[in-house]
Amino acid sequence: MKNILVILGVLFILAGASIAEAACTFEEAQQKAMAFTTQAQALAQKNPQKYAAIMQDLQPQLMSIQQNPNDIDKICKFYDDAIAKLQSTP
């Protein structure tokens, strides 16, 4: 909860804009994260090898967003790309 408040505070300070003006809101990022988690867990149960391969492919992007956790647009793009990879798995 503390991290959420810090991220929201930084968003208000950076660029002097409200969250509503961002291309991706914090709430949308949370929804994408939950969707990713749900799909990742399903794939891990169904096809552990494919899950491991996808997670390995996503590792560089994940490390990149961890370096700048306040870039909500970048986080949303990560989740969009990650969800697309999970959904493209037969």
pLDDT band at residue 18 under the 50/70/90 scheme:
very low
- The C-alpha atoms of residue 30 and residue 19 are separated, in whole angstroms, by 13
Q: pLDDT digits over 21-46, tens only?
A: 458 898 999 999 999 999 999 999 99
Dmax of the chain from CA atoms?
45
Query: Does pLDDT of 83 surpass 80?
Result: yes
Share of the chain above pLDDT 90, in %: 53
pTM flag (> 0.85): no
- Predicted confidence at residue 68, as pLDDT, reads 83
